[in-house]
Chain A
């Protein structure tokens, strides 16, 4: 009997305490909210203002209730390196039916990105799935995946995904662990194993670019390459910014590459501009290794109804070389 009363008293105290704490917290919260709600009504100036609500009706309010809101000026317009260009989503379409391994894309890319290593950012693969299927040429760039494996594994956030779809590398932060290279299923990333050796001409060009910091800051284009860090195709943000197409797109004599904005649903190869969604539907567009769930931003159109002979491309094919250094 005695135990029981003790227990119930304990329970009562326990419950009481808990309820007390709960009400205390609740009342503090309430008073804060009401305080905020009431704050502006304290001093009515008597001056009235006419305003239009979002649904179009005119209302009259006391002038003291109207507060000036700070507009963030750079919200939509300012270019933020890690955020990307506002309201854009860049995509590329590569039409395999047109590619005949002319390699002009690669040469242009190598030249404009001053690639000094052994490994081009843009590669044209000689592909053949099986003996019974037709061979074809397949250019690859960075896929700028929407689920980029490289970004997930980067320990220092040196490689990052932007809202405009670009996956870029901050080579001032990269520690050179090469985990991103191992993570990328498309083998698109290259490493600067040594100090990049820019030729004389390239050096002059780089210096010029540096002078024009506004468009060509180091981070902006991922240039110049730095020893012990990772590089890869950057979708040429320096060109996009000038409202121009990436170098590979303009260099291609066969109109293989289409570049555009997914939000605008248009892509262009310079000569023709097409509706992206229609193009992908009509020509059965696909993405590389879709099954991995990386969601690339680069689409491929299958190599059907080809106007060009595969064999022609063999003249340019070099198994052991992708950067021709004598060119600059």
Chain B
């Protein structure tokens, strides 16, 4: 099974053009600005944020929830499409795996930004208590990071071997690195069977781990008394929301990578069409849970529930609420239901809308509930009746988003974003079929 030269030429990592360099530099600058702002926060305390004793969690937490949700894309696309034997997944899985890795790593980092005493991080292990949902998070996030990394790494082995040969003359140093990473991959039957088995196990593992991760994230809220969180719906709600955020991010990244690396031949309109159908499916599921969450409590109209819902429908959060639900969910569903709506460029804009909507959606899950406690908000400064992130919070949050994009960018720069060996195998298979048909 020789891999054609053209294929390797097309799919091997490419040097950045001018745009790529500008992009990467700006990401690095934003990240550095965020690190400086964070150091300032550590020195002065979280007084630099606009959080207060009522809005005790802010965008650090909602951003964390967003990252966790986005990391679900690995489990959704790679594992579920694999188990359902959807062969169209080949050119998109690697990008999904990359997004997953970036998002889950950043989730782990973001949650630490919210800690009042990051210097006491080790207490989480030294004094860990099993009944706290935070301890569940401490267990499941590193597990997810490990599983996501393996899910990215195992399928890469043959590609690393190919790249080692490809770069052996032009870039011997890089070639050496690829060689080391390929772990002496020769492509023998034995190696192949071990690799296949390992991928299968990890792919299977991603599903329960992904579900647990999303559910634990939901339980961070639903184990509390607060109105809007105290819901049995929340686990499934978060899982479906994560699928929306994840696939939205996937479509957006795929579109950009496809244009930047000129992969139009490999990621075709057919793939976008399939992804569009997938996205609309998960959006519909999410819509179902949203109805459960936002409409059904209207029926019994419990006093606290009603106050909370009115806060969203027509109160200070109304513009955001309607943007998130109409822009981030209803419009994408309508557009994607039509074949014309599933063209790459349209999909790209829809995906951006979905991702932005998903980010603000987490804000709406966290903040309004906190501002409506059981006892009235009294005896605190006027500013504590509202919450909008401070400059520090924005810079730090933007930096975490930039870092996630930076991880994705670096991985796209050095890894083949489309599995080379697999694509070659599939092309071979197609040729054989054609021959036998003749």
Is B226 at the interface (CB under 8 A from chain A)? yes
Is A253 at the interface (CB under 8 A from chain B)? no
Q: Across the interface, do B121 and A182 meet the contact criterion of CB distance under 8 Å? A: no
The 8 Å CB contact of B129, one of A118, A156, A175, is A156
Is B265 at the interface (CB under 8 A from chain A)? no
Q: Across the interface, do A182 and B123 meet the contact criterion of CB distance under 8 Å? A: no
Residues of B within 8 A of A154 (CB): 129, 132
Q: Across the interface, do B379 and A322 meet the contact criterion of CB distance under 8 Å? A: yes
Q: Across the interface, do A156 and B128 meet the contact criterion of CB distance under 8 Å? A: yes
Is B389 at the interface (CB under 8 A from chain A)? no
- Chain A residue at smallest Cβ distance from B44: A194
Partner-binding segment picked from B29-37, B72-80, B109-117, B182-190: B109-117
Q: Across the interface, do A289 and B117 meet the contact criterion of CB distance under 8 Å? A: no
- Chain A residue at smallest Cβ distance from B223: A153
Q: Across the interface, do A228 and B135 meet the contact criterion of CB distance under 8 Å? A: no
Q: Across the interface, do B224 and A183 meet the contact criterion of CB distance under 8 Å? A: yes
Q: Across the interface, do B123 and A156 meet the contact criterion of CB distance under 8 Å? A: yes
Q: How far is the CB of A262 from chain B (nearest CB, A)?
A: 24
Q: Across the interface, do A179 and B134 meet the contact criterion of CB distance under 8 Å? A: yes
Question: A149-B225, A152-B132 known; A190 and B117 CB under 8 Å?
Answer: no
Q: Across the interface, do B115 and A173 meet the contact criterion of CB distance under 8 Å? A: no
| Interface residue SS majority, chain A | loop
Partner-binding segment picked from A2-10, A43-51, A120-128, A233-241: A120-128
Question: A119-B53, A177-B115, A185-B374 known; A153 and B45 CB under 8 Å?
Answer: no
Q: Across the interface, do A153 and B133 meet the contact criterion of CB distance under 8 Å? A: yes
Query: Digit string of B98-133 for contact with A (CB within 8 Å is 1, else 0)?
Result: 000000000000000011110011011011110111
Is A79 at the interface (CB under 8 A from chain B)? no
Q: Across the interface, do B117 and A322 meet the contact criterion of CB distance under 8 Å? A: no
Interfacial residues of chain A within 168-213, with CB under 8 A of chain B in the complex: 173-179, 181-183, 185-187, 189-195
Question: A119-B379, A175-B121, A193-B51 known; A228 and B373 CB under 8 Å?
Answer: no
Q: Across the interface, do B45 and A192 meet the contact criterion of CB distance under 8 Å? A: yes
Chain B interface residue count, CB cutoff 8 Å, equals 46
Residues of B within 8 A of A120 (CB): 379
Q: How far is the CB of A306 from chain B (nearest CB, A)?
A: 20
Is A227 at the interface (CB under 8 A from chain B)? yes
Q: Across the interface, do A155 and B116 meet the contact criterion of CB distance under 8 Å? A: no
Is B57 at the interface (CB under 8 A from chain A)? yes
Chain A interface residue count, CB cutoff 8 Å, equals 49
Residues of B within 8 A of A31 (CB): none
Is B381 at the interface (CB under 8 A from chain A)? yes
Residues of A within 8 A of B260 (CB): none
Q: Across the interface, do A177 and B134 meet the contact criterion of CB distance under 8 Å? A: yes
CA distance in complex: A189, B56 (Å): 10
Q: Across the interface, do B52 and A193 meet the contact criterion of CB distance under 8 Å? A: yes
Residues of A within 8 A of B220 (CB): 179
Is A219 at the interface (CB under 8 A from chain B)? no
Is B138 at the interface (CB under 8 A from chain A)? yes
Residues of B within 8 A of A182 (CB): 56-57, 224, 226, 370
Is A34 at the interface (CB under 8 A from chain B)? no
Q: Across the interface, do B132 and A289 meet the contact criterion of CB distance under 8 Å? A: no
Is B434 at the interface (CB under 8 A from chain A)? no
Residues on B close to A: CB < 8 A? 44-47, 49, 51-54, 56-57, 114-117, 120-121, 123-124, 126-129, 131-135, 138, 220, 223-226, 370, 373-382, 384
Q: Can you list 15 contacts pairing A with B, beta carbon distance less than 8 Å?
A: A125-B378, A155-B132, A155-B134, A156-B123, A158-B127, A177-B114, A177-B134, A179-B133, A183-B224, A187-B54, A187-B374, A193-B49, A193-B52, A195-B45, A228-B46
